A and B are shown apart, each in its own frame.
Chain A
Amino acid sequence: MSATAMSLRNGWRGLAFIAIPVTAIAIFLFYPAALSIIGTLVRPKDGGGYTFSLQSYVFFFTDSYSLTNLGRTLWTTVVTLILLVAVNLPIALYMRFTKGTLATVIQALALFPMFVPGIIICYALIRYMGPNGWLQSLLNLVGFHHYASPHLTPWGPVIGLIWDGMPLTLLILISGLSNISDASIEAARDVGAGRLRILVSIITPEITHSLLIVSALNFLGIFGQALMPFMLGPTNPEMMGPFMLRTFASVRDPLQASTQATITFLICSLAGVAYVRSLARRPQEDRK
């Protein structure tokens, strides 16, 4: 049997393997999503028949209320992302270069949020950082009386989302750092490179890929979040998640809700493209 025939047969077998999940995705995800997107563009006419209309999008982009919500969502996403990396990168670096009980304890603590449901975190955070909560009481004890609770302010969901996003971020960063061989760091040290130089010239280039994945995945997770923003965030501006839910369930305006969802989807798909491209580029780099 020739090598081509072999790989062809393997190819078919591979396709058969993925046929079921791909069909399931197509039926339960792509088809309804496509229906919903088309539904925002093609509207039934009064006298029967259909007409193409961008009216719901025109409304969204001329409505200052909707635009403020979109702006708040972007702000929350970007701020949370920056803080997530800022908090997790040092922990990941510490764990990459330190072995021992303390490192294990820190790792367990950092991964702990993964096992706690979001709604529980929300109520716990409200009691902890809310008005007259534990944090305020503790600060009062040490004589600090100017605590302003982040609960029900834009910083509320940021704190909740950092809590929520920590385990995933940390795991990806640690796996990225573990790819850096001790040998290359030793070699840099031997030629007299300082710690900062090693971080900038050896470590950072090696983990840009991980950083990209972390950013893309967290962007997707944070942008569409509904729970944290409406439990911990202000009434207004809303993030897109609660805004969509409210437009659909409370205002009972499915057209505008699908329009908001489509816009959210388009913005998120940018992050999705970045993620997929980064995944696709990786094997090529490895093969070089």
Chain B
Amino acid sequence: MLRRDFLKYSAAGAGLLLAGPRVAFAAPGVLDIFFNSDTNVIDFWTQVVKPGFEAANSGVTLNLVPGGGGSGINTLADRAYAAFQAKKDPQIDMLEAAMPFYPAGALEAGLWVDFAKAGLANYDKVNPVVVQSPALLPYRGSQVVLMYNSTLVKEVPTTFADLVKWIKANPGQFAYSRPDLGDSGACFIERALQEVTGQKPELFLPDNYTDAYAKPMFEKLWPLLKDIQPALFNGGEYTSGNTASIQLLASGAVAMTVAWSDMALQAMSQGVVPDTTAVAQLQDLAFTGGFSGIIVPSVAGNKDMALKLADYLISPEVQNHVVTDLGGFPGIKWEFLSKELQDKFAKVAPKSIPIFPSTWEPSLFEAWYRNVASGVKR
């Protein structure tokens, strides 16, 4: 997640440098919304959220501004905090895909609106497992899922142990990508690591990595990954990224792989994979993933209208579009989505959204190359 985001942010940052800073001035009826996400998300807002909201609230205009990536969004959060301390309008009504944990102390001081207490009509619909903070309203997510050809895979594995059994029973039919090149592959070996350590994601924290702590766990991981290696695609070959994995599935070279839900759903809706392609999530402990949300400064000039927009964002109307148009996961519970979507994605609805800390990844990936990938026999 983090690396993917980093790339996105740096690309967006470069774009902003060229475009120059575009600072909006608060005006009545104009909501200034700054985006951390990529252009596909801004396109989604332009085509779905903006027309829908503006039609329902005459006289209101959404001003959608690319925020310039991680550091740009942090600067805006700094500005909001400064305005909050001076009790002035920060001229920011909403930040998209930002975290309420920056600047330090701002959340506690009350800079960001607490959505649990904001009286949003749709707030009860929000899926509690995706809420990281009451000040962050999650509205779209993506998660690593099993992507498979349903004509070849009749009974899709629902636990990691079953998945391992399936891989060994169907040699050459499963592929995952090299962990450093595709996060879907990274999530696969991270899920395997959680499996051999007793399905306890809480063992892996952003600040608890040490060689001595990790080594005994890694030592348990290698036998499992080496065990399935001969049964992987081409006798133990790994793809060069998320897209390459989907390409193998598309060409029929493998029957199952792991993929990001948004990429998988987009590939399915664009028809680049066979019609019989389906996605599923492990039901014992899901693959890792993440949700993006919005935050609203409590001193925003158009705060009431911004909250109305937030409520609209988590309405089933928009959330259905998040799944169909954006290939994302809904921030609200699946039962509130259209019946058709519920049936189609019943197997991916996650019961939990585990997160694996990126601080563990450098050593894990390097050790994977040396212990697992170098054992390929050909």
Q: A250 and B366: CB pair below 8 A?
A: yes
Please, which residue of chain A has its CB at the minimum distance from the CB of B251? A132
Please, which residue of chain A has its CB at the minimum distance from the CB of B252? A132
Render B242-259 as a binary contact track against A, CB cut-off 8 A, 1 for contact. 001001100111000000
Render B187-204 as a binary contact track against A, CB cut-off 8 A, 1 for contact. 000000000000000000
Q: What distance in Å separates the Cβ of B184 from its nearest Cβ neighbour in chain A?
A: 15
B140 on the A face (CB < 8 A): no
Among the interface residues A149, A152, A237, A246, which one has the most CB atoms of the partner chain B within 10 A?
A152
Within 8 A of A (CB), among B243-299: 244, 247-248, 251-253
Inter-chain CA distance A249–B244, complex, in Å, is: 20
Q: What distance in Å separates the Cβ of A24 from its nearest Cβ neighbour in chain B?
A: 22
Count of A-B residue pairs with CB < 8 Å: 65
Render B360-374 as a binary contact track against A, CB cut-off 8 A, 1 for contact. 011101100110011
A231 on the B face (CB < 8 A): yes
B378 on the A face (CB < 8 A): yes
B14 on the A face (CB < 8 A): no
Q: B253 and A65: CB pair below 8 A?
A: no
A108 surroundings in chain B (CB, below 8 A): none
A127 surroundings in chain B (CB, below 8 A): 247, 251
B240 surroundings in chain A (CB, below 8 A): 152, 230-232
With A153-B378, A251-B366 given, is the CB distance from A126 to B252 under 8 Å? no
With A235-B237, A235-B373, A250-B366 given, is the CB distance from A130 to B247 under 8 Å? yes
Count A interface residues, CB 8 Å.
Answer: 26
Q: A251 and B362: CB pair below 8 A?
A: yes
B253 surroundings in chain A (CB, below 8 A): 130-132
B366 surroundings in chain A (CB, below 8 A): 250-251, 253
Within 8 A of B (CB), among A131-147: 131-133
Please, which residue of chain B has its CB at the minimum distance from the CB of A131? B253
A197 on the B face (CB < 8 A): no
A149 surroundings in chain B (CB, below 8 A): 234
B237 surroundings in chain A (CB, below 8 A): 152-153, 234-235
Within 8 A of A (CB), among B114-136: none
Q: What distance in Å separates the Cβ of B362 from its nearest Cβ neighbour in chain A?
A: 5
Please, which residue of chain B has its CB at the minimum distance from the CB of A234? B237
Q: B369 and A236: CB pair below 8 A?
A: yes
B217 on the A face (CB < 8 A): no
Render A234-264 as a binary contact track against B, CB cut-off 8 A, 1 for contact. 1111100000001001111100000000000
Q: What distance in Å separates the Cβ of A252 from its nearest Cβ neighbour in chain B?
A: 5
Q: What distance in Å separates the Cβ of A136 from its nearest Cβ neighbour in chain B?
A: 9
Inter-chain CA distance A238–B368, complex, in Å, is: 14
Q: A126 and B373: CB pair below 8 A?
A: no
Q: What distance in Å separates the Cβ of B8 from its nearest Cβ neighbour in chain A?
A: 15
Inter-chain CA distance A231–B243, complex, in Å, is: 11
B319 on the A face (CB < 8 A): no
Inter-chain CA distance A136–B251, complex, in Å, is: 11
Among the interface residues B180, B240, B370, which one has the most CB atoms of the partner chain A within 10 A?
B240
Q: What distance in Å separates the Cβ of B350 from its nearest Cβ neighbour in chain A?
A: 27
Inter-chain CA distance A128–B11, complex, in Å, is: 31
B247 surroundings in chain A (CB, below 8 A): 123, 126-127, 130
Inter-chain CA distance A236–B247, complex, in Å, is: 21
B315 on the A face (CB < 8 A): no
With A126-B244, A250-B362, A250-B366 given, is the CB distance from A235 to B251 under 8 Å? no
Inter-chain CA distance A230–B376, complex, in Å, is: 16
B160 on the A face (CB < 8 A): no
Inter-chain CA distance A124–B179, complex, in Å, is: 23
Please, which residue of chain A has its CB at the minimum distance from the CB of B181? A230
B143 on the A face (CB < 8 A): no
A65 surroundings in chain B (CB, below 8 A): 369-370, 374
Pick 16 A–B contacts, CB within 8 A, sort by A. A68-B374, A127-B247, A130-B248, A132-B252, A152-B237, A152-B240, A230-B181, A234-B237, A236-B373, A236-B374, A238-B369, A249-B180, A250-B366, A251-B363, A251-B366, A253-B366
Residues of B within 8 A of A (CB): 178-181, 234, 237-240, 244, 247-248, 251-253, 361-363, 365-366, 369-370, 373-374, 376, 378
